[in-house]
Amino acid sequence: MRLTTLFSLIVLSTVMALALPNRYSSNIEGDVNADGDVNIADVNLVIDAILGDKNNPACDVNGDGDITVADINVLIDYILRGPVVPTVETGMYMGITGYNSTLMTKEIAFLDSTTVSGFNDFIASLNTQPGRLLYYSVDKAIDALKVANYPENLQNVAIVTFTEGLDQGSLMMTDKYETEAEYAQALSDRIADQHVYGRPIKAYTVGLLNDNVVDANQFRANLYALSSDSAKAMEVNSMSEVNTRFQAIADDLVSRNMSEKLTLVFPGVGTGTRIRFTLDEVNSETVGESQVYIEGTFSLKTRSLTNIVYKGMTCTSGDSVAASSVDGMFVTMVFNGIQLDSEERIEKKNIQEWYWVDDQENWEASTEFSASGLPDVESTYSSALVMLLLDCSSVLNDNFSELQSAANQFIERMQNYNTIPGMFTVNGVSFQMVALDGGTFTMGVDSTMVEMGLANDDEMPAHEVTLSPFSIGQTEVTQELWYAVMGTTPSGFTGNLQRPVEQVSWEDCQEFITRLNAITGKTFRLPTEAEWEFAARGGVKSSGTVYSGSDNLDEVAWYYNNSYAVGSGSPDYGTHVVSSKHGNELGLYDMTGNVFEWCSDWYGPYNEEAQVNPVGPDNGVRRVTRGGSWFSVPRDSRVTFRGNESPTSRSYSLGFRLAL
């Protein structure tokens, strides 16, 4: 019988050696000989184990506690098809292990709102028992991270470990190590050396030091050994601190979940010319003090930028970038994987091009570079892979429910890995709402302003208004969003769907909002007049400017001088792409100019008494409009200026912004 089995396995081995390729260079369970491949050599080791020495735990590929032909079948599946992973969707992948005398594991799976309950249920199912397989749990977690078929945009790979004591029992789970110190060092080396899709492992260890820890020095040594750097080794003294640390770790992982692709179009210049693209707000006097820029030397021969320096950011494009295309005198270059050190997003309006002039020893602005069309900034969201390891030893009995709560809060935070607060998407079109804390402000103007001819009668009296928290659109509703909801294109100014929608009445806006709410399940609405003015002034961050965000109208608005007076034959005539001017203190754009914006209120006189969340008169004939438009003169562009129109009116200068 043994000879028959041996013959069959040898034939199987020979056939597979001829037929099966090597698959998945590195990083999957089943790499029995740890050579970085799953191939026929691993199958041969399992055959040897079946026929003779069954003491090699690595040959138990399917983890059933025995080494049989079933393990060979698993390897064949790996080699032919790769491991079965249900999805390669961008987002968060998580696995959880609770450890005491055994490992209780929820395999790595995609985490989102539809699957989170399974993770919560697993946390609830954990229980405490004697033992603490700390080292062994980390060892197996590293193995689990080696599964193939994760998204190629993997940005973060992490192990998050919680422990309340020293290791107990891990040496009994493997024959590789003789001492705990040897095992700990091996894990430290694995954490440092292991990469998944080219990404290093970020290993965080949170250790609760209390009277149960008999050797504080060894406890701290474990924290450092099981962390990828000293900053990620965290000693705490209470369970509340554990939750705080878990949230900080989640914030650290989520903060780097997005990168940006920057496309620049600029004129080719002579070889050796130094070019700087600044991404922060600078001018000709402060360009030398820029803290966020891309700078390099142009090569005419290769149409490339060389010796590139990235200031205030990281970028995956390297120190030399060739033109992706050339169109006459213009070259197009693409910079991928940009992440600003400030963790903010690139603001297109801030991008400027500068040339270094040797004779003058200063930077000169390019006259052929415009930030209002190109460059283009595209946001790309990444994926993450996290193993959460939880100490479930019996010493935790009194604190275990708190640990479970902290774990669930960590899971909830990671569930929203690629969710931007306030971002909504409808039929593929995204729009951003900005949350405001509310507060008290003075609405309107006093009589002095009217007497001086600087304001209109209906803007007074100045009165105190208190508002509850609310959200308001970062921009006016665009033609793109209108089409995504309504399927129509009412606007008179076309050519770019990022222009604000216009030619919409107050009643049209109500129909849009009704449909939007049906799609999203939210309760979007028009802002009240008081909410609009509070937001336009900058809310609690207001600097008291005449216009929204500045006393210089050209900085923040498309208005009469730069959009109407230029004449109908000019490309600048009419509305413009939203957010192509500077925003105000709250990051809201075009609160002044571009298009007037409908408010929910009936138009009527102000009340001089202090008010809380006012909504205007109970009835009326005309609805309030605010903000001025592309053909408004400066006086009509002030944050206190009030307009009014019939609810059925449509105009080339009349649009709206959402509130929530």
Q: Which amino acid is at 312?
A: G
pLDDT at 377: 79
In a 3-state reduction of DSSP, which class is residue 583? coil
What is the CATH architecture assignment of 423-655?
A: Alpha-Beta Complex (3.90)
For 180-204, the DSSP string reads: HHHHHHHHHHHHHH-EETTEEEEEE
Compute CA distances 523 → 319, 506, 531, whole Å: 48, 17, 16
CATH no. for 2-81: 1.10.1330.10
φ/ψ bin of 304: left (φ > 0), alpha (ψ from -120 to 50), beta (otherwise): beta
Which phi and psi (to 5°) does residue 507 adopt?
-70, -35
pLDDT digits 0-9 by tens, 96-146: 999 999 999 999 998 988 899 999 999 999 999 999 999 999 999 999 988
User: What value, to the nearest 5°, has the Cα angle with vertex 396 and ends 408 and 110?
Assistant: 25
pLDDT at 370: 58
Domain 2-81 and domain 423-655 have a common topology? no
Q: How far is residue 293's CA from residue 356's CA, in Å, rounded to a whole number?
A: 14
pLDDT digits 0-9 by tens, 68-103: 877 777 666 666 544 433 345 778 899 999 999 999
> What are the residue ranges in the chain where pLDDT is below 50?
1-7, 9-28, 81-87, 371-373
pLDDT digits 0-9 by tens, 398-425: 889 999 999 999 999 898 776 667 878 8
Token pair for 361: 């020893």
Q: Answer for the pair 460, 452: CB distance below 8 angstroms, yes or no.
A: no
Give the number of other Cβ atoms within 10 Å of residue 313's Cβ: 21
Q: Which residues is 205 bridged to in the sheet?
A: 161, 233
Locus of tokens 């200063």: 362
For 75-127, the DSSP string reads: HHHHHHH----S---SSEEEEEEEESSSEEEEEEEEESTTTHHHHHHHHHH--
What is the maximum span of the chain, computed from C-alpha positions, in angstroms? 111
Alpha helices in 267-391 (DSSP H): none
Q: Answer for the pair 155, 256: CB distance below 8 angstroms, yes or no.
A: yes
pTM across the whole model: 0.55
Q: How far is residue 525's CA from residue 517's CA, in Å, rounded to a whole number?
A: 9
The sign of the dihedral angle between the CA atoms of 530, 536, 540, 545 is: negative
- Quote the crossing angle between the two packed helices 69-81 and 2-19, to the nearest 10°: 10
Q: How far is residue 598's CA from residue 334's CA, in Å, rounded to a whole number?
A: 39
For 518-570, the DSSP string reads: HHHSS--BPPPHHHHHHHHHTGGG----SBTTBS-HHHH---IIIIITT-TTS
CB contact burial 355-370 (16+ within 10 A = b; e otherwise)? beeeeeeebeebeebe
For 590-645, the DSSP string reads: -SSSSSEEEEEEEP-PPPSS-EES----S--SSEEEES--TT--GGGGSTT-EEEE
Q: Answer for the pair 79, 41: CB distance below 8 angstroms, yes or no.
A: no
Q: Which amino acid is at 629?
A: S
Q: How far is residue 233's CA from residue 210's CA, in Å, rounded to a whole number?
A: 16
CA atoms within 13 A on the CB side of 157: 24
Ranges of each domain in the chain = 2-81, 92-257+382-415, 262-365, 423-655
